[in-house]
């Protein structure tokens, strides 16, 4: 679990460094027009908004390690009343936005590699939440989507 987080962070920082560098030098850039950059701005903004909202809603209950603390409770209101993982959806949207802003094949590859890591993190979190909250978790999970309503 800690190794997965470390790899995710290293890959993301590497990609963040490469995005503007590669764009300025035409390294691993997609052959798309500049208009895509404007399309990507709302994606990036939505991603940051979701991740920030999630930080506010969870407060100190989110940690880089999947664990339950004494003061934890199940957040089921607001956006969490519809989707269970707005933070991870935000990460994916922001990453997609950055990828398109910088027209980066490396950004796209990083995003694709990030998906199974996020799915594993979600699975780990849901297992811990099910153990801790039991039937309350099951009722909540049955009434919500992981990230995208009607899709996942």
pLDDT band at 69 (very low <50, low <70, confident <90, very high): confident
Residue 125 near residue 86 (C-beta atoms within 8 A): no
CA angle, residues 87, 137, 78, in degrees to nearest 5 = 45
Least confident among 10-19, 104-113, 141-150? 10-19
pLDDT, the chain, mean: 89
Q: Token digits for 121?
A: 């993190």
Beta strands in 20-89, from DSSP E residues, in sequence order? none
**What's the pLDDT score for residue 124?**
93
Structure confidence by residue, pLDDT tens digits, 24-65:
888 888 888 878 888 899 999 999 999 999 999 998 888 878
Confidence check: pLDDT of 87 > 80: yes
Round to whole Å and give the CA distance between 25 and 40: 20
Residue 123: closest CA among 48, 66, 58: 66
**What percentage of the chain exceeds 90 in pLDDT?**
49
**What's the pLDDT score for residue 1?**
61
Phi, psi of 71 (to 5 degrees): -90, 5
Helix locations, the chain, DSSP H: 2-25, 35-58, 86-101, 105-142
């Amino acid at each position: 679990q800690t190794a997965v987080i470390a790899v995710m962070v290293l890959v993301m920082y590497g990609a963040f460094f490469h995005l503007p560098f590669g764009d300025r030098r035409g390294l691993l850039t997609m052959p798309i027009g500049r208009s895509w950059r404007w399309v990507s701005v709302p994606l990036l903004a939505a991603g940051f908004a979701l991740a920030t909202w999630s930080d506010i809603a969870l407060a100190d209950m989110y940690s880089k390690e999947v664990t339950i603390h004494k003061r934890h409770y199940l957040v089921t209101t607001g956006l969490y009343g519809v989707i269970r993982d707005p933070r991870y959806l935000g990460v994916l949207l922001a990453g997609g936005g950055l990828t398109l802003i910088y027209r980066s094949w490396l950004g796209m590859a990083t995003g694709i590699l990030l998906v199974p890591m996020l799915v594993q993190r979600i699975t780990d979190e849901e297992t811990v939440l099910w153990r801790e909250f039991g039937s309350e978790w099951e009722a909540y999970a049955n009434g919500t989507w992981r990230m995208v309503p009607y899709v996942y």
